Structure 1
Amino acid sequence: MATAATERFATLDATRGAAVMGILLINIISFSMPEQAYVSPRVWGGLDLPDIVVWTINQLFFEGRMRGLFALLFGASAMLVMARAEAKSEGAARVHLSRMAALALFGLAHCYLVWEGDVLFHYAVLGCLLLLVRGWSVKALVRAAIVLLALHTLYWGVQFAGALYFQSIATAPDATAEMVRQYQAMMRGFPGPDSPTIARDLAGYRGDYATVLDYRLEHRATIPVQLLFILGGETLGYMLLGMALMKSGLFTGGWDRARVRRFMIVCYAVSLPAMAAITLWQIASGFDPIVLMGVFLGWSIPFRVVMTLAHAALIVLLVTRFSESAIVARIAAAGRMAFTNYLMTSIVMTTIFYGYGLGLFGHVGRAEVYLFVFAMWALMLAWSKPWLDRFVYGPFEWAWRSLARLRPQPMRRTNHLAS
């Protein structure tokens, strides 16, 4: 019979498994198409009905929310690891910071050698700050998260509101020639089908490994730092919310099903209508690049955060409802190996799409790329549980843990469970 602790960890693992699978719904565009296609369907990937339907579904339910769920669970897991370290008198600071240092090394290797969309270095740097707030109350963590997310939204929201206002006056009949010139210069920095970066991406990622590596180092070398500036406030806000939810008991059985259900309903009631309106606005604008970027970085964040919380509650409800099912067990196994599955996804997808592999970069439509997503999901579910039936950790989890502790950890499963 499963203990309460086992059930609690299974819920957290299954939620993490759903997150690592779900994030591929969004990352697949970055794996398979020029960078700007991630924001704008006009850039690449097709504007046929199936492509627009896929884009619309992602905008309505998943874009930003899967990344948010991943960060939410990172904060929850960090809280759990630090609590365990304190319980074992190992020193929360030493354990946590050594884990973050090792994670940063993996992140840099992943970014420069495999795929520059890496979030591991991003999480490692921001994760160091979590040590400072681990003793905060749930209310304090939530307040700090709200402040961070509000400031992030305000900063980017004002930036793009200003750009949208300038667009309105620079495209008016009485606009001066100088104003038009400035507007055209500004628009060259936004995603568009005529952007010179598209041809550059196609040439870079359709080459052999040396070509891809050279291109990444020449044009993407500063991405880890840029990501901290562009998304740092949002990511840290999610991490603090994850810590708060961990402390409050959402992932550990502390909430009864009625409370989880009420929380989910309220969050969806607040976020779904707003996200539907925002998504329709983007379509009605003709996929105006200023509107798309404003939504991506600023205006939609409050509602994306609330929907992310709704998604987390929904997953918890489903996992607890079907806790004995084989599929939940496999999703939980994928979650226990989330680090490995995240990195393996990058390795598999870049091999499929980049020139040193099958060379499909830019050749597959927005709707069709999801066939690769479903295949990768099947692979995660197929291999994670059999691996963990034989080994204590996933391969990369073992490497991360061994590097953080500066000694090889026991790998083959005997009669003990992973701590």
Structure 2
Amino acid sequence: MQPETDRYLTLDAMRGFAVMGILAMNIVAFSMPEWAYVTPRAYGGLSADNQASWIFSFIFIDGKMRGLFSLMFGASMMLIIERAQAKGESAAKVHYARMFWLALFGLAHYFFLWFGDILFLYASVGCIAFLFRNWEPPRLIKWALILFGLGILFWGLQLGGLQVLQYFATQPDADPDMLKQYNEILRSNDFDLNVEDEIALHRGAYWPIVTEKLSEWYTPLAAVLQSIAETLPLMMIGMAMKKNGFITGEWDAAAYTQWAKRLVPAGLTASAALAAYLVFVDYDLISSLAVFLAWSAIPRLMLTVGYAALLILFITRTAHRKFIARVAATGQAAFTNYLGTSILMTTLFYGYGFGLFGSVSRVGLWPIVFAVWVLMLLWSQPWLAQYRYGPLEWLWRSLARGQVQAMTR
């Protein structure tokens, strides 16, 4: 058992890559109306550059970095449980204290900073994942895949049914009642792009933005129900990967290479095919939502695990390089970097800051992403050379432990 002061380079560096990659997708939700994340038709139009940027992100990034983050969360949770048990502490007490405070951080993040919070989701799902801590890796993976499949079935039946309705309702000889039902669905709040209202809100003052979220106080709970069938399986797979040594770099290079070859080309091909399908149907809202929530789930899972294998190969082969040390430090301070980007991005795009919401193209967002990546890499390592934890990691740990933790090295 590793001492608590020791770090797993693969865990930290993968977490660093994940938190950097998450920004590449989240910045769209920071800077544009919510539906812009799902389809380029919602905002920015169907110009070549807008479509190309959306397609690139959809194929290579969307959901995969969040997936890696979920794997890391499950693996780190397992590591903390094992260390608590090794020291004779109550693993349940340590874990649930951490999840309680993480949930509060998440709610504060959601209501007072940004609607795209994942911390409350992770805390809620983490409470469930703890129940499977004693399962062996094969059992964890088997049930993770079963739960994942049930999630696809749930969304597939709903959204696939909508796609079938859309097909028949748009035929020249469509049944009038079916056409009426179809049009009512398109006019419902679920498919209201609400672009102008969102722009006006986010270019305005701080308190109306908060008030809007407070009026829909149940949204974080709804997000848990919507995402649990993907997030819980990924955490369980992360737990299994910690137990069997995959995520800590203990496998042979040939095994990681084999998994990468199995999953990455097939996952990218399937994602590209789905992107081509959406181009073919002009990104209509029902098809876009169906692909986003249901049909892209399997290639997203394949690429999440495939990327993990590729990253472990890369990290272990370049472990001596300064760049990897900086990425690992970014991952060690991932909590601070994640919330820090929310502060930076809302200040940049919201009206109480620089008010750039809806003003920057998808392509124009990339220089901002690169700049924030550089900032993460520059501050994290020097800080951790002097201090044990990132600022928010220290606060979270102190609150969860019920006493102020030693900060300086």
Per mean C-alpha deviation after superposition, the further-off stretch among 59-68 and 379-388 is 59-68
Match of residue 178 from structure 1: 177
The 2-side partners of 1:371 and 1:47 are apart by 21
The 2-side partners of 1:45 and 1:352 are apart by 19
2:227 counterpart SS class: helix
% identical equivalent positions: 46
Matched, 1:216 2:206: no
2:250 counterpart SS class: coil
Q: Equivalent residues in 2 for 1:118-133 (5 A)?
A: 118-133=117-132
Match of residue 393 from structure 1: 389
If the length of structure 2 is used for normalisation, what is the TM-score? 0.96
The 2-side partners of 1:29 and 1:245 are apart by 31
Whether the 8 Å contact between 2:81 and 2:91 is mirrored in structure 1 is yes
Whether the 8 Å contact between 2:81 and 2:95 is mirrored in structure 1 is yes
The 1-side partners of 2:188 and 2:87 are apart by 52
Matched, 1:325 2:324: no
**For structure 2, which runs of at least 5 residues remain unmatched after alignment?**
none
Match of residue 145 from structure 1: 144
Aligned residues: 408
Q: Equivalent residues in 2 for 1:60-71 (5 A)?
A: 60-71=59-70
Match of residue 417 from structure 1: none
Q: Supply the AA of the counterpart residue of 1:37.
A: A
Q: Equivalent residues in 2 for 1:66-85 (5 A)?
A: 66-85=65-84
1:136 counterpart SS class: coil
Matched, 1:167 2:163: no
**For structure 1, which runs of at least 5 residues remain unmatched after alignment?**
414-419
If the length of structure 1 is used for normalisation, what is the TM-score? 0.94
The 1-side partners of 2:207 and 2:290 are apart by 35
Matched, 1:201 2:217: no
1:96-141 Cα distance to aligned partner (Å, 9 max, x none): 0110001001001001010011000000011011221111000000
Whether the 8 Å contact between 2:42 and 2:193 is mirrored in structure 1 is no
Report how far residue 53 of structure 1 moved: 1.2
Match of residue 135 from structure 2: 136
Per mean C-alpha deviation after superposition, the further-off stretch among 114-123 and 269-278 is 269-278
Report how far residue 199 of structure 1 moved: 1.9
CA RMSD between the two structures:
1.7
2:8 counterpart SS class: helix
Matched, 1:372 2:368: yes
1:408 counterpart SS class: coil
Match of residue 334 from structure 2: 338
1:367 counterpart SS class: helix
2:41 counterpart SS class: coil
Q: Supply the AA of the counterpart residue of 1:244.
A: A
Which of these residues, 212, 217, 225, is aligned with residue 221 of structure 2? Answer: 225
Distance 1:7-1:278 versus aligned 2 partners, 3 A rule: farther
Report how far residue 269 of structure 1 moved: 3.3
1:327-383 Cα distance to aligned partner (Å, 9 max, x none): 101000000000000000001000000000000001111111122111110110010
Q: Equivalent residues in 2 for 1:209-288 (5 A)?
A: 209-218=206-215, 220-288=216-284
The 2-side partners of 1:229 and 1:251 are apart by 27
Match of residue 12 from structure 1: 11
1:212-247 Cα distance to aligned partner (Å, 9 max, x none): 2122223x4322111112111101011001111111
Which of these residues, 296, 309, 327, is aligned with residue 300 of structure 1? Answer: 296
Whether the 8 Å contact between 2:53 and 2:362 is mirrored in structure 1 is yes
Whether the 8 Å contact between 1:8 and 1:251 is mirrored in structure 2 is no
The 2-side partners of 1:97 and 1:116 are apart by 24
Distance 1:276-1:190 versus aligned 2 partners, 3 A rule: farther
1:42 counterpart SS class: helix
Whether the 8 Å contact between 2:249 and 2:316 is mirrored in structure 1 is no
Which of these residues, 371, 391, 404, is aligned with residue 408 of structure 1? Answer: 404
Q: Supply the AA of the counterpart residue of 1:253.
A: G
Match of residue 157 from structure 2: 158
Distance 1:4-1:105 versus aligned 2 partners, 3 A rule: closer
1:251-297 Cα distance to aligned partner (Å, 9 max, x none): 22320111111111111133122112111111111102111111111
Match of residue 89 from structure 2: 90
